[in-house]
Homo-oligomer: A and B are copies of this chain.
Amino acid sequence: MTVLKGAAIFGQSGGPTSVINSSAAGVFQEALKQEAITAVYGAAHGIKGILDEQFYDMSKEDSYELDLLKTTPSSALGSVRYKLKSAEEDETDYKRIVEVFKKYNIRYFFYNGGNDSMDTCNKVSKYMQKVGYECRVMGVPKTIDNDLFGTDHCPGYSSAAKYIATSTMEVYHDARVYNTGMITILEVMGRNAGWLTASTALASYKGQGPDLIYMPEIDFDMDKFLEDCTAIYKKNGNCIVAVSEGIKDKNGKYISEYGSDLAQQKDSFGHSQLGGLAATLAAIVKEKTGAKVRGIEFSLLQRCAAHCGSANDVNESYLSGQMAVKYAVEGMTDKMVGFKRAEGSEYKCEIQLLNLTDVANTEKKIPREWINEAGNGLNQHFIDYALPLIQGESTPPKEDGLPRFAKLKKVLVSK
Question: Which residues from B are CB-within-8-Å of A400?
Answer: 206, 387, 391
A142 at the binding interface (Cβ < 8 Å):
no
Q: DSSP majority for the A interface?
A: mixed
A349 at the binding interface (Cβ < 8 Å):
no
Q: A273-B279, A308-B307 are in contact. Are A178 and B296 (CB under 8 A)?
A: no
B263–A287 CB distance below 8 A: no
A181 at the binding interface (Cβ < 8 Å):
no
Residue of A276, A280, A305 with most partner-chain B CB within 10 A: A305
B267–A283 CB distance below 8 A: no
Q: Say which size band chain A's interface belongs to.
A: 35 or more
A322 at the binding interface (Cβ < 8 Å):
no
Q: A169-B403, A169-B405, A307-B166 are in contact. Are A174 and B73 (CB under 8 A)?
A: yes
Closest to A283 in B: B273
A271–B262 CB distance below 8 A: yes
Besides A78-B177, A80-B178, A167-B305, 19 other A-B contacts (C-beta < 8 A): A18-B170, A73-B170, A73-B173, A78-B178, A165-B402, A170-B306, A171-B300, A174-B303, A175-B300, A206-B402, A259-B274, A269-B283, A269-B287, A270-B283, A273-B279, A274-B283, A297-B299, A308-B308, A392-B401
Chain A interfacial positions (CB closer than 8 Å to B): 12, 16, 18, 44-45, 48, 72-75, 78-81, 162, 165-167, 169-171, 173-179, 184, 202-203, 206, 208, 259, 262-263, 266-271, 273-276, 279-280, 282-283, 286-287, 294, 296-297, 299-301, 303-308, 310, 387, 390-393, 395, 398-403, 405
